[in-house]
Every structure is written in C-alpha cells, then in structure tokens.
Amino acid sequence: MRLAVLTPNVSALAQPSAEDVADLAQRGYRSIIGNRPEGETDGQPLWADLKAAAASHGMEALQIPVVIGQISDDQVAAFRAALEILPKPIAVFCRSGTRSALMWALANHSNLTIDERIGIAAREGYDLEPFRERLARGSAAAEA
C-alpha cells in the first residue's frame, strides 16, 4: 500500500481493503475519508465493511463520495470540515488516489497557492495540472 503524504496530517492512497485499513491503524492513522461512490466498479469493497474495519481499530471513518467533473462546493466544504475535525493523521482515498488528492487541493484553497498544491500532489505522484483552472476557481460551483 503506497501512501502519498500531502501534509504531515493527510495522506492519499488508492482504494484500500479492510485489511489495509488495519495496516493504516498500525501506522498510526486515526481517520479515513472515502471519496468513492458506492458500487463505482465491480469488486470494490463496500463502504460499510471499510467503516467497520476502521471502527474495530478505533478509527473514525467518513464517506464523501465524489465524481470527477461533478465536484460541488458542498462536497469541498464537507471535505474541508472533515480535515479540520477528524482525528489526525487522516488517510483519504478513492480508486487511484487522484480524486482524493484533488479534494485535498480544493479544500486548501486559502492555505496554499495553486502551484504549491499542484507541486505537492506531483511530488507524491498525482498530476493535478489538468485541474488548474478548477483549482483557480476555488470552491466555486463548477465541474472539476
């Protein structure tokens, strides 16, 4: 399991299994945020199973499902609030991790410049350059 460290308190990763959630807990993560809609692909772990795995290891779990091209202001605000209130460190995930890295970048509009957010994600293997225009708009309601 590869973790992309976006900040000391937030890491992105590709879809974990329930066993991976146990590994995250062993690594000290205290919360997970899932950004995949339920049933997005065949064989995708059920959110209920991931949430149960997190709970069994004393972790918080929150699902904020998003679809590239349809990310709303409300979803970004919910993600930002979750980053503020959930116990840290937090692991955020989607199918590949890109959507979660994008959500992190959108949620940090006022904290970091566009170049800083794109650069951090790039160093961790996520190309957010195609979303530069969306990142420039901040949380304005528009497609990502």
Q: In what order do the strands lie in the sheet with 31-34?
A: 4-7, 10-14, 90-94, 31-34, 60-63
Position 60 in a domain: yes
Res 103: pLDDT? 97
Res 18: pLDDT? 96
CA distance 97 to 6: 11
Contacts of 9 (CB under 8 A, 6+ apart): 83, 88, 89, 90
In the predicted model, what is the mean pLDDT of residues 70-95? 96
Is residue 88 scored above 90 in pLDDT? yes
Residue 109: which pLDDT band, with cuts at 50, 70 and 90? confident
| pLDDT tens per residue across span 16-61 | 999 999 999 999 999 999 999 999 999 999 999 999 999 999 999 9
Position 75 in a domain: yes
Position 66 in a domain: yes
142, burial (CB in 10 Å: exposed 0-12, middle 13-18, buried 19+): middle
Position 73 in a domain: yes
- Residue 113 lies in domain: 4-136
CA distance 59 to 77: 22
Position 141 in a domain: no
Res 111: pLDDT? 82
Find tokens 């209920």 and name the residue: 48
Res 138: pLDDT? 67
Position 142 in a domain: no
Position 143 in a domain: no
Residue 101: which pLDDT band, with cuts at 50, 70 and 90? very high
Contacts of 141 (CB under 8 A, 6+ apart): 72, 73
Number of domains in the chain: 1
Q: Please, where are the H alpha helices in the chain?
A: 18-26, 47-56, 73-85, 98-107, 114-123, 132-136
Residue 91: φ, ψ to 5°: -105, 125
With a pLDDT cut of 70, the percent of the chain lying above it is 95
Position 64 in a domain: yes
CATH of the domain at 14: 3.90.190.10
